[in-house]
Chain A
Amino acid sequence: MISYALIKVGLNTRVVFSLYDREKYKKKFCSIIFLILFSKFRSLRIFNPRYFSSRLKALNITKKLLFYSNVSYSFSHSKNYSAVLVSSSDFHVSIDIEPNNRKISKYLSLYLSDYFADVKLSSIEIISILECLVKIGIIESIIDSKGGLMSLNNINISSKNRTAFIKIQDKMFYSKFIVTNGFHACVTSDNSDYLNNIIYVD
C-alpha cells in the first residue's frame, strides 16, 4: 500500500507526502545506490534499507515533479513503513509517523501532562509534534543530555480542528495529522498555508 498527499501552497510550492511499505525496495538496493550517493539525499546511513528506500523515494519524487532547487524534505520510519515528505520550497517541514494503535506508557503520559494537560490532543500526537520539532531543529532533543527528559516549559501548544499551533522561542509552527494505512502522520512546518490544502493522489 502506498499513499500520497499532494499539498499545494500558492502557485509554485508543492509538498509531496508518501507513506509506503519498504519491502519492495530490497531488490533495488545494489543497482540504484550510486544514484543516491550523488544526490542531495546522500546519507552516511544509506546502506541501511530503511534509509536507502526513503532517500530513493525522495529522489524519485523530485525527478517526477521537477523539484530541483529550494527542496526541503523529511523522513520518518516505523516498523516496515517509511514516510517521505518533499517540498518544492525552502520553508521548514518535518514529518513523524506512528502506528494508530501505538500505546503510550502511563509514565510518558504523566510527563506530557506536566506540560500539556490542557491540550486537546492525544499523547501520541503531542509526541509526534515534539519529534517533528526536533527534526526541524527548533529543539535539540526531548532527552536531556545530562539524564532524564527535557523540561518543555518553553513550548506552548494549542489545537483547533485537528491543527496544532505551537509557539516556541517566539516562533510559530503548525502541525496537521493525516490518518492513512493504519498510521497517523504528523506534518509540521513554520508555514501554515499548505496544511489547509492536502489532496490525496493515490
Chain B
Amino acid sequence: MDTKFKKLVAETFEMNIDDVEDNFALDPEGNWDSIAHLSIISGIDYIYNVQIRGDDLVECRNISDIYLLIKKNGS
C-alpha cells in the first residue's frame, strides 16, 4: 500500500496518516458513506488515473480491498 493511497484514506476519513492500517474497516453505517465513496473515487481518478466502479467499491470491506481494485483496474 503506497503513501499516496494512505494520504487519500487519511484525508477521506479525517484521520492521521500514521493511524491508517491495511485492515482499516469500512463501515457502511458509519465512516463509509456516500461522501467517502465520492472522495475515494475522485482521489483514485486524480492520483492514479484509474476509474473505479461504484458497484465494485461497495463490495469493499476494508481499505486493502480498495487498493486491490486500483491495482486490478490500473494494470
Q: What are the residues of chain A within 8 A of B61 when measuring CB–CB?
A: none
B42 touches A110 (CB 8 A): yes
Residue in A48, A103, A143 whose CB lies within 8 Å of B41: A143
Contact of B42 among A48, A98, A105 (CB under 8 A): A105
Which A residues between 105 and 156 are near B, CB-CB below 8 angstroms?
Answer: 105-108, 110-111, 124, 127, 131, 141-149
- Establish whether residues B51 and A144, one from each chain, have CB atoms under 8 Å apart when the complex forms: yes
Q: In the complex, which range does the number of interface residues on chain B fall in?
A: 20 to 34
Nearest CB of B to A97, in Å: 11
Question: How many angstroms from the CA of A144 to the CA of B56 in the assembled complex?
Answer: 12
A47-98: which have CB < 8 Å to B? Answer: 48, 50, 77-79, 98
Q: How many A-B residue pairs have CB under 8 A?
A: 65
CB atoms of B35 and A104 under 8 A apart = yes
How near does chain B come to A115, taking the closest CB pair, in angstroms? Answer: 12
Given contacts A50-B29, A107-B39, A107-B46, contact A145 B54 (CB under 8 A): yes
Would you call B53 an interface residue if the criterion is a C-beta within 8 Å of the partner chain's C-beta atoms? yes
Within 8 A of A (CB), among B18-32: 29-30
With a cutoff of 8 Å between Cβ atoms, the chain A residues found around residue B53 in the complex are 143-147
B53 CB, nearest partner CB in chain A, Å: 5
Closest A residue to B49 by beta carbon equals A148
Interface size of A by CB at 8 A reads 27
When the two chains form their complex, are residues A127 and B35 in contact, meaning their CB atoms are under 8 A apart?
Answer: yes
A27 interfacial by beta-carbon distance below 8 Å: no
Find out whether the CB atom of B42 lies under 8 angstroms from the CB atom of A107.
yes
Known: A131-B34, A141-B54. A148 touches B11 (CB 8 A): no
By a beta-carbon cutoff of 8 Å, the part of chain B in contact with chain A is 8, 11-12, 14, 29-30, 33-35, 37-39, 41-43, 45-47, 51-55, 73
What 13 additional pairs, Cβ within 8 angstroms, besides A77-B29, A143-B53, A147-B73?
A78-B33, A104-B39, A105-B43, A106-B11, A107-B43, A127-B38, A145-B54, A146-B53, A147-B51, A147-B52, A147-B53, A148-B52, A149-B38
